[in-house]
Amino acid sequence: MRVILFGPPGAGKGTQATALAERYDIPHISTGDIFRENVGNETDLGVKAKAFMDAGDLVPDDVVIAMVEDRLNQPDTGNGFLLDGFPRTAAQVEALDEILARSGHSLDGVIRLQVDDGELMTRLLRRAEEQGRTDDTPEVIANRLEKYEAETEPAVVRYRKRSILYDVDGEGDVDEVRDRVLEAAAKAEQS
Ligand code: AMP
């Protein structure tokens, strides 16, 4: 199963990704988590990414793409993978296509979680209090949502054209959303 979980910051990708990855026994690859780990360990990659993350800007494509390619070449992706937070730009969509083509694989589906803007802001501000993420301040959140609208959302068109985009209502109870996500994944797997 090769699947992408797509959606704006605060849509619940992390939570739903955990359930999906467990169900299909595939690694959950979150570019945000990888970056945060590298920032925490002060690696070269972390140093490169930190200023962009703190501002709510996207890390440059070449940095992200090299990191994801390296991660997808790890042996645990033999059975597939779940990407969370990647791709986020048209260039990243193209790069992923090339990486997959080189390994003779294709994507089963792109599951997009949809949540209303007002609800996203409420959730992100709540998470800021609970987790203290440095990129969860109101200004940075607003910038991240803007970047999503401007750069990430348009990139999804390519997946819609290929009929592998599955829209899921991301509002409501976490368990209900999980059931919808799993239902979409089952459809993606069959098609
Ligand atoms: P996330 O946890 O997915 O919201 O990611 C946190 C931050 O990491 C983002 O605001 C970006 O600065 C950076 N980041 C994560 N994934 C990507 C990506 N695919 N492209 C560019 N920047 C990314």
Ligand 1 geometric centre to CA of 24 (Å): 24
Ligand 1 geometric centre to CA of 84 (Å): 10
Q: With a 6 A CB cut-off, is 96 part of the ligand 1 pocket?
A: no
Which pLDDT does position 75 carry in this prediction? 95
Q: Which residues touch 45 (CB under 8 Å, ≥6 apart)?
A: 35, 38, 63, 67
Give the three-class secondary structure for 79: coil
Reported confidence tier of residue 133, pLDDT bands at 50, 70, 90: confident
Predicted confidence (pLDDT) per residue in 1-29, tens digit: 999 999 999 999 999 999 999 999 999 99
Q: With a 6 A CB cut-off, is 6 part of the ligand 1 pocket?
A: no
Q: With a 6 A CB cut-off, is 53 part of the ligand 1 pocket?
A: yes
| Position in ligand 1 atom list of the atom nearest CA 86 | 19
pLDDT at 173 > cutoff 90? yes
Q: With a 6 A CB cut-off, is 56 part of the ligand 1 pocket?
A: yes
* Residues classed as catalytic: 13, 88, 127, 133, 144
Predicted confidence (pLDDT) per residue in 91-107, tens digit: 999 999 999 999 999 99
pTM: 0.94
89-128: b (≥16 Cβ within 10 Å) or e: bbbbbebbeeeeeeeeeebbbbbbbebeeeebbebbeebb
Ligand 1 geometric centre to CA of 190 (Å): 30
Ligand 1 geometric centre to CA of 60 (Å): 10
What percentage of the chain reaches a pLDDT higher than 90?
A: 87
Predicted confidence (pLDDT) per residue in 143-172, tens digit: 999 999 999 999 999 999 999 999 999 999
The mean predicted confidence, pLDDT, of the chain is 94
